[in-house]
Amino acid sequence: MEAGLAITLFTLGLLGGFLSGLIGIGGGIIMVPLLLYVPPALQIGLLTMKTVAGITSVQSFFGAISGAVGHKRHGRISVPLALYMGGSMTVSALAGSVASQFLSSEWILLVFAAMAVIAAVMMFIPQNHVEVDTHARELVFNKPLAVVIGITIGTLSGVIGQGGAFLFIPAMLFLLRIPMRIAIGTALAIGIASSTAVLIGRMGTNQIPYLMSAVLVAGVIIGAQAGSALSQRTPRRLLRGILSVLIAGSALKICYELLNA
């Protein structure tokens, strides 16, 4: 691997890790477009969607762990919600990850774009409950619905090689009506389980470029700690706005590429 590509991967890892800690996503919704388009723009290489999915499956796993550690200290992780959604997602994500070996890069990108569009629509629907700031111990939610959401998103997450946080944070906010800060913290905890299943599936089918993944993860671990610390001091409305814009922007970019392919 050339030095230019290594430096770029490490820098993108810092960015992805920071976003993971700040807004509760594994960083894949941002990292996938960056890995696809930044290296060619800098003329240092061209990564296929399958290679990118392999790299981000590792990045999502380490980003979720590093970010969750920071949010746990502030009581923002609901263990029951994480178990109901995370447990159902783990099994279905493993199935989706194994099945992804039979899909082309174009189909994986299409699934990713569809998920991003759905997430963007949900994020822009007004939801007053997200402004509530409560401790995770006081949270009440619809358990059967949480399981159904976990199975659905888990399968799709396995296909695209992501923990799925960019979709299940909107699902928690819109469908389960979870407050914003708890949604962010719990999303990272769930992301550990789901991204573990995705990672196992990718490793078992030899879809992981280990050297590139290691360089990226080095940046992710550092960035996630900084993002977690800043998240606790950032207004909830701003956190929601950042997440909405990032998801919508990535969805538009990927859809544009698909239409012009």
Look at 151 and 72; give whichever has higher pLDDT.
Answer: 151
The helix/strand/coil state of 214 is: helix
Question: For position 26, what pLDDT does the model report?
Answer: 59
What is the per-residue pLDDT for 132? 60
pLDDT, mean of residues 101-129: 75
Residue 83 pLDDT greater than 80, yes or no: yes
Whether the pLDDT of residue 42 is over 70: the answer is yes
pLDDT at 214 over 90: yes
d(CA 43, CA 52): 17
Where does the pLDDT of residue 165 fall: very low under 50, low under 70, confident under 90, or very high at 90 and above? low
**246 vs 85, which has greater pLDDT?**
85
pTM score of the predicted model: 0.67
The band of 70, judged by pLDDT with boundaries at 50, 70 and 90, is low
Query: 177: which residues sit within 8 A by CB, 6+ positions away?
Result: 127, 129, 141
Q: Which residues contact 253 (CB under 8 A, 6 or more apart)?
A: 33, 37
The residue among 4, 18, 121, 100 whose CA lies nearest residue 52 is 100
- Give every CB contact of residue 67 below 8 A, 6+ residues apart in sequence: 17, 20, 21, 24, 188, 224, 227, 228
pLDDT at 129 over 60: no
Average pLDDT taken over every residue of the chain: 80
The Cα–Cα gap between 228 and 89 comes to: 24
Residues 38/145, Cβ–Cβ less than 8 Å = no
Contact 64, 23 (CB under 8 A): no
Q: Is the pLDDT of residue 90 over 80?
A: no
Residue 252 has pLDDT above 80, yes or no: no
Asked if residue 125 has pLDDT above 80, the reply is: no
Distance (Å, whole) CA 208 – CA 156: 18
User: What distance in Å separates the CA atoms of residue 174 and residue 162, rounded to the nearest whole number?
Assistant: 21
Residue 127 has what pLDDT? 65
Q: With pLDDT > 90 as the criterion, what percentage of the chain qualifies?
A: 8
CA 214 from chain centre, in angstroms, equals 18
Whether the Cβ atoms of residue 73 and residue 136 lie closer than 8 Å to each other: no
In the predicted model, is pLDDT for residue 131 greater than 60?
no
Can you give the pLDDT at residue 8? 92
> If you average pLDDT over residues 19-33, what whole number do you get?
74
